[in-house]
Every structure is written in structure tokens, then in C-alpha cells.
Amino acid sequence: MDVNNQHLKTLLERTDTAFRELLKEPDSYDLNIAYEKAKEELDSYIVSLRQTLAQRALQR
């Protein structure tokens, strides 16, 4: 995937890394928390991007 937004790229990498670590130790509480936090940060950022794009579309 071509990612131009550096913050989005960072969040995607963090989520991917947390997921790969969780796959190694699926019963780890700390890795589950880390993955959930990474997903929440990514989801929150995507919601923010969508809102920004929707506002821009309305302004045109």
C-alpha cells in the first residue's frame, strides 16, 4: 500500500507490529492490551481523517 501520510504510516506499522507479536503469544495480557491500543489509535485517526475529508467535500 502506498501511504503518503507519515502519521498514518506510523500507526499502521505499530498496529501490524503489535499484531505480529500477539500472534506469537496470543495469551499474553500485555500484548493484547498493546494491540488493542494500537487498533484504537489507528481507528481514531481514520475517523478523524474521514471527518476532515467530509468537511472539505461540503465546503466545495
Residue 43 is assigned to a structural domain of this protein? yes
Residue 45 scores a pLDDT above 80? yes
Residue 20 is assigned to a structural domain of this protein? yes
Q: What is the pTM of this model?
A: 0.83
Residue 55: domain span: 6-59
pLDDT above 90 coverage of the chain, percent? 77
SS (H, E, C) 3-56: CCCHHHHHHHHHHHHHHHHHHHCCCCHHHHHHHHHHHHHHHHHHHHHHHHHHHH
Residue 1 is assigned to a structural domain of this protein? no
Residue 45 is assigned to a structural domain of this protein? yes
Residue 10 is assigned to a structural domain of this protein? yes
